[in-house]
Amino acid sequence: MSAITYAAWAFAAGALIPLMAMLNGGLGRASGGTIQATVILFATGLLASLVLAATTKTHIPAIHILARIAPLQYAGGLIVVFYILSITFLAPRLGVGNAILFAVTAQLLTSALIDHFALAGAIRRPLTTMRAVGLLVVVVGVVTTQVSDRIAAGAR
């Protein structure tokens, strides 16, 4: 696949995150809470993953292979649970735009650190002055949106 295909794929995945946040919020209300929604979401995801594996003839690793994987490698599962619980709870209360805005800002800043220090096996991509300025613009944008929300709320 080309870099353009990968970029389009990443864009599509990112574009679905705000929709997922609101759908999860609705699922939380309909199912009785954030934890219930998260369990339903992951059960649905597991089922979809198993169907995908079956239809693509992808084998599921045997238990002995899973046992050899370093425990830290499973941390992504805990991180995604934390994210889903958080966004399911926060989006209806903070607003989907604000919840995603803070999440994406944190992702950009953390990504820059991971790249700069080549953490967790990432390709080293030093934090240049231009990248730092770009990140600063994002942070200023977050602050601006929050200040404008407070000003608008005060004017009501």
Task: Give the confidence band of 35 by pLDDT, cuts at 50, 70, 90.
Answer: very high
pLDDT exceeds 70 at position 36: yes
pLDDT exceeds 70 at position 156: no
pLDDT exceeds 80 at position 150: no
Instruction: Kindly state the percentage of the chain with pLDDT values over 70.
Output: 97
**pLDDT of res. 149:** 67
Q: Are 100 and 21 in contact (CB under 8 A)?
A: yes
Rounded CA separation 125/120 (Å) = 13
Q: Are 118 and 128 in contact (CB under 8 A)?
A: no
**pLDDT of res. 8:** 93
**pLDDT of res. 23:** 93
Task: Give the confidence band of 90 by pLDDT, cuts at 50, 70, 90.
Answer: very high
**pLDDT of res. 155:** 66
Instruction: Determine the Cα angle at 38 with ends 86 and 70, to 5°.
Output: 85
pLDDT digits (tens, 9 = 90+) for 92-144: 998 888 888 889 889 989 999 999 999 988 899 999 999 999 999 988 988 88
